[in-house]
Structure 1
Amino acid sequence: MSKTLTCITTCTLTGNPTYIWYKNGQHLDESTSPQYKYSVFSNYDDSYSCTVKGHEDLHSPAVCVQDQDCSRVTYTKRRICVLKGSTVDISCTYVGYYSTTSTFWFRSDKSTPEDLTRDPGYTGRVKYTGTYRGPFTLRITDLREEDSAEYRFTFKTYNVEWGHSFPGTTLSVTGLQVKVTPAAEGQKTLTCITTCTLTDNHTYIWYRNGQNVQDTSSPMYSISSEDADSYYCAVKGHNGLSSPAVYKPKTSVSVSPSGEIVEGSSVTLTCSSDANLPVDKYTWYKKNGGDYQRTTGPQHVFNQIQSSDTGEYYCEAQNEMGTDRSRTMNMDVKCE
């Protein structure tokens, strides 16, 4: 004897979706039909849930089929985005009809579920808090980008082991970066960006040459295109987790080999820059009787240098923050 469960929506889904069914958190079946038949002789603490393939993190709430007090796990948040180096709390509530004999959190990308408190990669960074029927929380400190994963909770009772295939909470760990874009004439816009949208609303803090210049709910800050200062951003409450600073190049020039330069030898001029963001363009200049001759690239190579190459040379390096010119270097080529 059986009864039928139906996975329902408030509108008709476009296309031909595949429905996935879970029993006590364990993957049961996949079908193009939104209906699933179960035996009425199921355990009184069994629970069922459904989702649509490709959207597993949007599953339905679990329903009890025999009683109102069946086994289930409900995650507080399905997606969380937080800053690298910070602390996160991932929580759920769970119900088991009998007293639990085991409870732990694990990463879904592991081949077999492993208690995070025993995972060497989380040593000293993981703590569980909470109780049965109350929020049971996984706290991870000193977050790293490699902590980005889906985290799931499992428990065991006398007759139920909550399945490992039920979707959990996806954690994304991000750093801060400053993006530079042209704005109105003579202006640039700096944007404090992350690889995911931070879970909570934040106040962004902007620093110029290490000094706080603005606190704002907007991640954007406007500067003059001629501004030669360095800038970085942070999030209020996490001031020590700032982005790398962006600044225009600080440029120098060198020659190899050093010492006397003899006609016919190979000589390389190198333009070096301390820059963030990366240098987009290097340009070499030779000053000769008031005329400027230009070549591009970080190196200017003379395979067989001639006495006519004698002159003053300098380079410019350009990134999205601006352009910097090196000192002028005098190169004197001796005849053999």
Structure 2
Amino acid sequence: MALRTAGSVLVVFLWSVTVVLGQDGWSVTYTTQSICTLKGSTVEMTCSYTYPSGTVTSTLWFTKMYDVENYVSLLDDPDYKGRVTYRSDKTNGNTLTITHLRENDSAMYMFRFITDQTGGKFFGSPGVTLSVTDLQVKVTTTWWSTTLTCSTTCTLTGNPTYIWSRNSKNVQEDSSPSYSVYFNTEDSFYCAVKGINSPAVYGPKNTSVSVSPSGGIVEGSSVTLTCSSNANPPVDKYIWYKTKYKNMSMRHSGQRYTIHNISSEDREG
């Protein structure tokens, strides 16, 4: 079983919540206080600002301040090189856009502006808290079915739609991140959240057993059997059975099975 996603880039736009921070005619208004979005996507943070007099000469967004009055504009921060743009409008609005988000972009983002008046500097704090999460798939298996769940470390902003495909054919589009399915090992499953990729998920393949020590085994000695398989997520439960005259009996659970005082009876199965 394989799981992938394909499509376009997720862009988060937020225009609903207003957060005003200011005093004495100075203010910064953020459209939201927090955003949770996916690694690899694009995010936009928007604010507006007011000031009592003068003309704005400089604006910037920042997450780092090395010391007093030493703010690092994201445009000059090497961690964001080539991924950040600012956009201003005629009504004292400003939008920060960050593309190709990384998990270490998670931080609080604040807006600062400077006017031509003496002491005419202001920034809004606290700012917008951005949480960047990767899209993982959790697999829950019972005797009768398997449930695949697109999982994130925070609740995604914007109530996204989760799209599941089976062998390249869409089978579910829903606000629920979970999909229950009966599948064959040759099936491929795909999960998408507006085009953001999840890791591949597939059942056990290329299962094999190694024997230690290798070569001839002396009766009365011990031998260790190790089962290996290629799967994602990795196999977490191994069960060893012995067959005799078409009957199966469980002997051990775990990836390794050591048989002590081995005898000729152990050749069967």
Same fold (TM over 0.5): yes
Q: TM-score range by the shorter chain?
A: 0.7 to 0.9
Q: Corresponding residue for 2:5?
A: none
CA contact (8 A) 2:20 2:30 kept: no
Higher RCO (CA < 8 A, seq sep 6+) = 2
The within-5 A match list for 1:174-193 is 174-181=133-140, 186-193=144-151
Give per-residue Cα distances to partners, 1:94-135, cap 9 Å, x unaligned: 233322333211116x55432111212111111111146432
Q: 2:47 aligns with which of 76, 92, 99?
A: 92
Work out which of the two has the higher radius of gyration on C-alpha atoms and give 1 or 2: 1
- TM-score w.r.t. structure 2 length? 0.76
Q: Distance in 1 between matches of 2:265 and 2:146?
A: 42
Residue 189 (structure 2) pairs with residue 234 (structure 1): no
TM-fit CA distance, 1:230: 4.3
TM-fit CA distance, 1:271: 0.8
Residue 208 (structure 2) pairs with residue 252 (structure 1): yes
Is 89-98 or 155-164 further displaced after alignment? Answer: 155-164
TM-fit CA distance, 1:143: 0.5
CA contact (8 A) 1:95 1:133 kept: no
Q: 1:156 aligns with which of 107, 114, 117?
A: 114
CA contact (8 A) 2:209 2:226 kept: yes
Residues 209 and 301 from structure 1, CA distance in 2 versus in 1: closer, same or farther, beyond 3 angstroms?
farther
Residues 299 and 182 from structure 1, CA distance in 2 versus in 1: closer, same or farther, beyond 3 angstroms?
closer
The one-letter code of the counterpart of 2:78 is P
Q: Flag structure 1 segments of 5+ consecutive residues without an equivalent.
A: 1-57, 313-336
Q: 2:74 aligns with which of 116, 121, 141?
A: 116
CA contact (8 A) 1:176 1:233 kept: no
Q: Distance in 2 between matches of 1:60 and 1:86?
A: 24
CA contact (8 A) 2:139 2:148 kept: yes
Q: Distance in 2 between matches of 1:132 and 1:104?
A: 16
Give per-residue Cα distances to partners, 1:155-176, cap 9 Å, x unaligned: 2223222147x11011111222
Q: Corresponding residue for 1:12?
A: none
- TM-score w.r.t. structure 1 length? 0.63
Q: Corresponding residue for 1:201?
A: 159
Residues 293 and 217 from structure 1, CA distance in 2 versus in 1: closer, same or farther, beyond 3 angstroms?
closer
TM-fit CA distance, 1:137: 1.4
Residues 120 and 304 from structure 1, CA distance in 2 versus in 1: closer, same or farther, beyond 3 angstroms?
farther
Q: 2:198 aligns with which of 243, 250, 261?
A: 243
Q: Secondary structure at the match of 2:158?
A: coil
TM-fit CA distance, 1:213: 2.7
Q: Secondary structure at the match of 1:261?
A: coil
Q: Distance in 1 between matches of 2:123 and 2:55?
A: 17
CA contact (8 A) 1:125 1:141 kept: yes
Q: Distance in 2 between matches of 1:63 and 1:127?
A: 25
Q: 2:176 aligns with which of 200, 218, 222?
A: 218
CA contact (8 A) 1:178 1:232 kept: no
Q: Flag structure 2 segments of 5+ consecutive residues without an equivalent.
A: 1-16
